[in-house]
Structure 1
């Protein structure tokens, strides 16, 4: 069973005449007859019966017609949707980013793109997550593009630097380290620390910085 057979079947079901249906389909009558015959053999039932010079659907053909028309309608919608999504000037872009980029960077980026291409029919779908979740989403093709931290040993992902951020120590105003122009990591060790989760892209970066000081932190 193939799409041509299904299209031929639907056309013949509505025209109810082999010669006229073949002309409408731009094929020969023998080709149409052969296609319908093969379809009936596969279904192991008669879809049409003769009535004078015409043909009409059997009760089984009427049942089959309902499903075929619905299937072709869904398929046609899928084709149109796919073409729209993959158009050079339209479609949907699935974009993922880490939380810290959601207040300024992403809105400015998307706003600038849409302003530059006002005549394009482009929509964005946004997802927020940590670096590990985002990279996994890229591998599963949930996202078209993502903004996250660089992660080592990800050979299947291309990382392109777009910005740099400073790492700073955040303390209360009355803290002993407050007001300092710079702080050595070793100076932070006596104090409780709020740390990144294991799925965070910055977690291995911070771990490595502490390891360079000769200290391996224990987390609760």
Structure 2
């Protein structure tokens, strides 16, 4: 089995588009098609099926993708283990981050870190939800992630770095907009929306609501920006239990109000990385820098976050 073909397969599985995958691999599309055909012939199983102008993995392809990711990561770990012994702190750090940390913490952190490296380290950033980012850590697509804590991830190291308050957002024309603080009793008649269950933040908000006896809340959103957009265009007696972050700041018509029953530093954001992967010197140095970064403001002792 050709190692190059495995890299081609992994790229196509992630981009789900022959033309874009070939472009990123710097090969001709027929070369990519031939490589995939060769793999399918060797495995005697179809790996992709067409879905309009794109392709998706077949059940056989999904199984094969998991093993290809593990195999390629093992090779990359071996290469990194050899080169890291003598290499300086140079290279690339692939970072994934949730929207919540991209308003102030992450830009300041990256700027401060790059000032210590003489531009010898390239920082590549992407965004996504916590569950997706943790999967990418397992696959080796990301080196580190700034995200919530996902349950039952024994191979992932979580380092608390910063936190966000959970507040009530309403439109500026809402009757409560003039208040600085309310209680859950004050908003029992407000139509509330919040994060969906199944996400770390959604589970943590659910536990809070359950403990405080707050019911009839629509759990529909994965992220702050989508929820803020909904609220900014809503009419009537509605509000959002949402983290004080980029999602609220993007919409000038929204106003944040403290809720007396919600403790400060409600939601912790972690630096996450895979403990069993061998990291390059650049990634290792970045992790150590983040651990002691002066801008970290997470509480010293953290319990499991909304698992």
Q: TM class by shorter-chain length? A: 0.5 to 0.7
- 1:146 counterpart = 2:145: yes
Instruction: Provide the residue aligned with 2:114 in structure 1.
Output: 114
The secondary structure found in structure 1 opposite 2:194 is coil
CA, structure 1 residues 157+187, in 2 after alignment: closer, same or farther (shift >3 Å)? farther
Instruction: Provide the residue aligned with 1:101 in structure 2.
Output: 101
TM-score, normalization by structure 2:
0.40
Count of aligned positions: 140
> Counterparts of 2:89 and 2:140 in 1: how far apart (Å)?
21
- 1:209 counterpart = 2:208: yes
> Counterparts of 1:132 and 1:199 in 2: how far apart (Å)?
9
| Higher RCO structure, 1 or 2 (CA under 8 Å, sep 6+) | 2
The secondary structure found in structure 2 opposite 1:109 is helix
> Counterparts of 2:103 and 2:181 in 1: how far apart (Å)?
27
CA, structure 1 residues 95+199, in 2 after alignment: closer, same or farther (shift >3 Å)? farther
Instruction: Provide the residue aligned with 2:161 in structure 1.
Output: 162
The secondary structure found in structure 2 opposite 1:160 is strand
| Greater mean alpha carbon deviation, residues 103-112 or residues 194-203 | 194-203
Residue correspondence of structure 1 range 38-49 to structure 2 within 5 A: none
Q: Which has the higher helix share?
A: 1
Gaps of 5+ in 1: 1-77
**Residue deviations 1:18-55, cap 9 Å, x none?**
xxxxxxxxxxxxxxxxxxxxxxxxxxxxxxxxxxxxxx
Q: Which has the higher strand share?
A: 2
Instruction: Provide the residue aligned with 2:184 in structure 1.
Output: 185
Residue correspondence of structure 1 range 39-118 to structure 2 within 5 A: 86=84, 87-118=87-118
Contact 1:97/1:129 (CA < 8 Å) preserved in 2? yes
The secondary structure found in structure 2 opposite 1:171 is strand
**How far off is 1:85 after superposition?**
8.0
CA, structure 1 residues 99+132, in 2 after alignment: closer, same or farther (shift >3 Å)? same
> Counterparts of 2:137 and 2:83 in 1: how far apart (Å)?
18
> Counterparts of 2:106 and 2:125 in 1: how far apart (Å)?
10
**How far off is 1:93 after superposition?**
0.6
> Counterparts of 2:137 and 2:122 in 1: how far apart (Å)?
19
CA, structure 1 residues 188+149, in 2 after alignment: closer, same or farther (shift >3 Å)? farther
Instruction: Provide the residue aligned with 2:172 in structure 1.
Output: 173
RMSD: 2.8
Gaps of 5+ in 2: 1-74, 221-307
TM-score, normalization by structure 1:
0.54
Contact 1:133/1:199 (CA < 8 Å) preserved in 2? no
